[in-house]
């Protein structure tokens, strides 16, 4: 027995869409401004940049970096202007091509 297209295509009617639950905050009309932050971790006397994070302040960017990478001996966050070019990502030692 072969099916026809009419048998396969049965319309589905959705009466109501479920409400989307979005986490959000309201603070009496206060404007929030996000900033770009370069977060660095200390290991002994050396500082190592671990990534660029978008956050309300430097401490929030550091907190997120710690969630992602774990703890270090010290932390710092430096604000990066929005109109600055994206930071260069380090390449693996063998991925450079000679031209």
Position 84 scores a pLDDT of 78
Domain boundaries, the chain: 33-82
Q: Which long-range contacts (CB under 8 A, 24 or more apart) does 64-71 make?
A: 64/39, 65/39, 65/41, 69/41
Q: What is the pLDDT along the chain (99 residues), one digit of tens a residue?
A: 565 655 656 666 666 655 555 445 556 666 678 899 999 999 889 999 999 999 999 999 999 999 999 999 999 999 998 887 776 666 665 555 544
Question: By C-alpha distance, which of 93, 74, 90, 75 is closest to 37?
Answer: 75
**pTM listed for this prediction:** 0.58
Position 33 scores a pLDDT of 84
């Amino acid at each position: 027995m072969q099916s026809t297209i009419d048998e396969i295509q049965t319309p589905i009617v959705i009466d109501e869409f479920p409400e989307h639950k979005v986490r959000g905050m309201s603070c009496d009309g206060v404007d929030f401004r996000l900033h770009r932050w370069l977060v660095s971790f200390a290991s002994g006397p050396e500082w190592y940049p671990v990534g660029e994070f978008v956050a309300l302040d430097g401490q929030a960017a550091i907190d997120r970096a710690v969630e992602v990478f774990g703890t270090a001996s010290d932390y710092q966050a430096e604000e990066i202007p929005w109109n600055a070019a994206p930071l260069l990502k380090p390449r693996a030692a063998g991925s450079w091509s000679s031209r």
